[in-house]
């Protein structure tokens, strides 16, 4: 069974914690994907945008809302720095980051092509713009059975 990933916009942690694979009809702006670990991806994206090493970013990001337990489910907030970078990036910049992300050696276990990576970053970028515009958070849940 593949990894299921949902990025979404929510007003707060309590609302975000109430989402997940059993609560998909939450009515929040969201996009769903499969096949990659988003908690690793957001660190890689921020590193690619900023040039900072992943281990420095990982000291504070992503902030867990519902930590992973034995059920394979987790909810986290995409940090404000990355949310702002995604919201402000144009299609050209997102495409560049997508190509670099798809090419990373750490992506060997995930099956995301350059084209899929571009679609993911464009969709998450659109959600980030909506989150910034509405003064809300950008969150993600994933289920890795």
Structure tokens at 5: 């990933």
Q: Which of 71, 39, 76 is nearest to 145 (CA)?
A: 71
Residue 21: the pLDDT is 72
- Give me the residues of the chain with pLDDT under 50, please: none
Per-residue confidence (pLDDT) for residue 113, from 0 to 100 = 84
Q: Please give the model's pTM, rounded to 2 decimal places.
A: 0.91
End-to-end alpha carbon distance in the chain: 7
Q: Nearest-5° angle of CA 130, CA 83, CA 70?
A: 105
| C-alpha span between 43 and 117 (Å, rounded) | 15
């Amino acid at each position: 069974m593949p990894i299921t990933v949902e990025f979404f916009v929510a007003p707060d942690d309590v609302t975000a914690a109430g989402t997940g694979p059993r609560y998909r009809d939450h009515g929040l702006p969201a996009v769903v994907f499969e096949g990659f670990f988003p908690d690793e991806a957001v660190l890689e994206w921020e590193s690619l945008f900023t040039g900072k090493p992943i281990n420095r970013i990982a000291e504070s990001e992503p902030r867990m809302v519902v930590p992973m337990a034995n059920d394979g489910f987790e909810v986290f907030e995409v940090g404000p720095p990355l949310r702002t970078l995604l919201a402000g990036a144009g299609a050209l910049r997102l495409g560049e980051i997508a190509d670099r992300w798809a090419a990373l050696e750490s992506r060997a276990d995930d099956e995301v092509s350059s084209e899929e990576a571009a679609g993911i970053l464009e969709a998450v970028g659109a959600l980030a713009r909506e989150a910034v515009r509405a003064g809300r958070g950008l969150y993600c849940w994933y289920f890795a059975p």
